């Protein structure tokens, strides 16, 4: 086991400068020799500190940005282990933001993404904080080609500020599911009732500390589906939510972030010079392949009724059921979680 059993106490410790911070490096590593936490960010009461080399890595565990293929593999495992654990715990969770957009197109993580976004109910975050905070979950991913033979550990860490239900840009992330091998993580936010809006007579207002606002009927009842091969839930009005956040083009434009959507394969693939006949003129900053001229696919626009069929997107992704029990996910080999 890579992490010490005394880790449970770490989340309540204070950093040397008196500011509440994520569990100190020497509390989450047995033999600390280095740390890439960005401790220069001294905003008062900020809990989670990202790495010095990239904002979507935890510097207590990661020491570098992963390349394109490495990142995709680790993010897939991160998502699968999270879903498996939340199902076992009984926490109500669903995917949001860029992860929901990736699901919409291919039921997979967008290949250019470097993090995953999930949301939980208010009851679930209290449950996670009370019974599962700072637990380490170890899985055997059955990958003989990996340096660690597929043995991976993941830390569930809850921000002590989770109980503050008001808008909080500094502590908008209520918890994280962290890959202790690479530092990649899932941001977990909490959906709460908006008491201020309720007091004004608004029906069913919901809010998240990152300033996103929803109506109850936008989210519930949750729809049952799959993501990265595992059963997961998505908001009831998923298309409306995505249009409001990213614009209508996000649901129909098959070119994005130097990728093209292959409708037959139902996946995004990197563009090459062969796609536009521009070999020798442009290069992909990610993996070095030639690219066509830069395409402006910025998205914008207001919320509209979600279309039932989007060009290039299989109709099977639309009108998903929202009743009945989700099937249990394939069981990963997991050791008992430790504290």
pLDDT tens for the chain, 339 residues: list them.
344 433 333 333 333 334 456 766 566 665 555 566 666 655 668 889 887 787 899 988 988 999 999 999 999 999 999 999 999 999 999 999 999 999 999 999 999 999 899 999 999 999 999 999 999 999 998 765 566 667 899 999 999 999 987 877 789 999 999 999 999 999 999 999 998 888 898 889 999 998 889 999 999 999 999 999 999 999 999 999 999 999 999 999 999 999 999 999 999 999 876 665 555 544 444 443 333 333 333 333 333 333 333 333 433 344 444 333 444 444 465 665 666
Per-residue tokens: 124? 């679930």
* Sign of the four-CA dihedral 145, 3, 30, 174: positive
C-alpha distances in angstroms, 174 versus 65, 168, 181? 24, 10, 22
- Residue 7 dihedral angles phi and psi, to the nearest 5°: -60, -25
Answer whether 231's CB lies under 8 Å from 328's CB. yes
State the DSSP code for 145: T
- pLDDT of amino acid 196: 86
Domain ranges in the chain are 64-247+324-334, 254-298
Whole-number pLDDT of residue 312: 38
Q: Say how far apart CA 1 and CA 181 lie, in whole Å.
A: 12
Cβ neighbours for 115, distance < 8 A, ≥ 6 positions apart: 56, 75, 98, 184, 185, 186, 187
Instruction: Note the pLDDT of residue 269.
Output: 92
Distance in angstroms (rounded) separating the CA atoms of residues 213 and 221: 17
Rounded distance, CA 258 to CA 276, Å? Answer: 12
Rounded distance, CA 15 to CA 34, Å? 17
- pLDDT reported for residue 274: 64
Distance from CA of residue 98 to its chain's centroid? 8
Phi-psi category of residue 119: left, alpha or beta, with phi > 0 → left and psi -120 to 50 → alpha:
beta
Q: How long is the chain?
A: 339
Nearest one of 43, 63, 50 to 22, comparing CA atoms: 50
Residue from 190, 241, 221 nearest 322 by CA: 221
Residue 303: CB atoms within 10 A of its CB come to 14
Question: Residue 288 burial (CB < 10 Å; 0-12/13-18/19+)?
Answer: exposed
As given in the structure block, the two tokens for residue 84 are: 């498996």
- Quick one: pLDDT at residue 143? 65
Q: SS3 sequence, 307-326?
A: CCCCCCCCHHHCCCCCCCCC
If you ran DSSP here, which 8-state letter would residue 162 be given? Answer: G
Hey, what are 325's tokens?
């029990």
> Which pLDDT does position 46 carry in this prediction?
85
Strand partners of residue 138: 153
Cβ-Cβ contacts under 8 Å for 224 (sequence gap 6 or more): 231, 233, 320, 321, 322, 324, 325, 326
DSSP 174: -
């Amino acid at each position: 086991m890579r992490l010490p059993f005394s880790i449970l106490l770490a989340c309540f410790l204070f950093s040397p400068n008196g500011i509440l911070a994520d569990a100190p490096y020497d509390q989450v590593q047995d033999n600390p020799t280095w740390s890439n936490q960005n401790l220069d960010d001294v905003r008062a009461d900020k809990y989670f500190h990202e790495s010095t080399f990239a904002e979507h890595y935890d510097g207590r565990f990661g020491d570098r940005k992963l390349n394109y293929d490495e990142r995709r593999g680790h993010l897939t495992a991160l998502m699968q282990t999270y879903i498996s654990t939340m199902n076992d715990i009984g926490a109500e969770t669903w995917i949001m933001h860029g992860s929901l957009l990736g699901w919409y197109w291919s039921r997979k993580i967008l290949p250019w993404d470097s993090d995953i976004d999930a949301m939980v109910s208010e009851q679930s975050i209290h449950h996670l904080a009370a019974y599962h905070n700072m637990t380490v979950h170890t899985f055997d991913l059955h990958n003989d080609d990996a340096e660690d033979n597929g043995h991976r550990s993941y830390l569930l860490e809850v921000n002590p500020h989770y109980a503050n239900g008001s808008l909080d840009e500094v502590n908008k992330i209520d918890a994280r599911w962290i890959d202790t091998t690479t530092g990649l993580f899932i941001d977990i936010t909490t959906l709460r009732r908006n008491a201020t809006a309720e007091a004004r007579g608004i029906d069913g207002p919901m809010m998240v500390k990152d300033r996103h606002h929803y109506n109850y009927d936008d989210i519930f009842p949750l729809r049952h589906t799959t993501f990265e091969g595992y059963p997961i839930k998505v908001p009831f009005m998923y298309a409306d939510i995505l249009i409001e956040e990213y614009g209508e083009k996000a649901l129909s434009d098959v070119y994005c972030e130097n990728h093209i959507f292959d409708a037959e394969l139902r996946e995004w693939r990197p563009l090459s010079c062969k796609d536009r006949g521009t070999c020798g003129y442009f290069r992909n900053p990610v993996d070095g392949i030639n690219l066509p001229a830069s395409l402006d696919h910025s998205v914008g626009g207001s919320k509209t009724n979600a279309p039932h069929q989007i060009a290039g997107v299989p109709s099977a992704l639309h009108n998903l059921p929202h009743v009945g029990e989700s099937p249990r996910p394939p069981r990963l080999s997991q050791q008992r979680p430790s504290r």
